[in-house]
């Protein structure tokens, strides 16, 4: 059998199970909250639709927890989570 010395194959990603997705949201949310409160934003590489979805769910949970608008922006490589604009007339 001939040996190949080319580029190694890209690693295959195993999709997250439903339980792993839930655990990811629950476990990332406190860290994202900490970063938002300290710096006003959180940025992470999210280069697959699955990771974008996971961190969008994290952003929703963070917003619910902080009772503040939180938005996420994805560009196909990274996702940024930050505070959104306050709705006029609403005060906490």
Per-residue pLDDT tens for 2-53? Answer: 566 778 887 788 899 999 999 999 999 999 999 999 999 999 999 899 999 9
pLDDT band at residue 1 using 50, 70 and 90 as cut-offs: low
The pLDDT of residue 61: 98
What pLDDT, in 10s, does the model give residues 51-68?
999 999 999 999 999 999
Residue 63 CB burial class (10 angstroms; 0-12, 13-18, ≥19): buried
DSSP 3-state assignment of 83?
A: strand
Answer whether residue 90 shows pLDDT above 80.
Answer: no
**Torsion angle, CA of 11/12/17/18, rounded to 10 degrees?**
90
């Amino acid at each position: 059998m001939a040996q190949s010395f080319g580029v190694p194959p890209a690693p295959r990603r195993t999709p997250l199970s439903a339980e792993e997705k839930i655990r990811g949201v629950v476990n990332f949310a406190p860290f994202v909250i900490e970063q938002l409160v300290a710096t006003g934003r959180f940025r992470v590489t999210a280069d697959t639709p699955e990771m974008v979805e996971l961190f969008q769910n994290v952003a929703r949970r963070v917003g619910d927890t902080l009772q503040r608008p939180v938005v996420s922006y994805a560009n196909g490589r990274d996702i940024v989570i930050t505070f959104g604009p306050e709705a006029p007339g609403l005060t906490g």
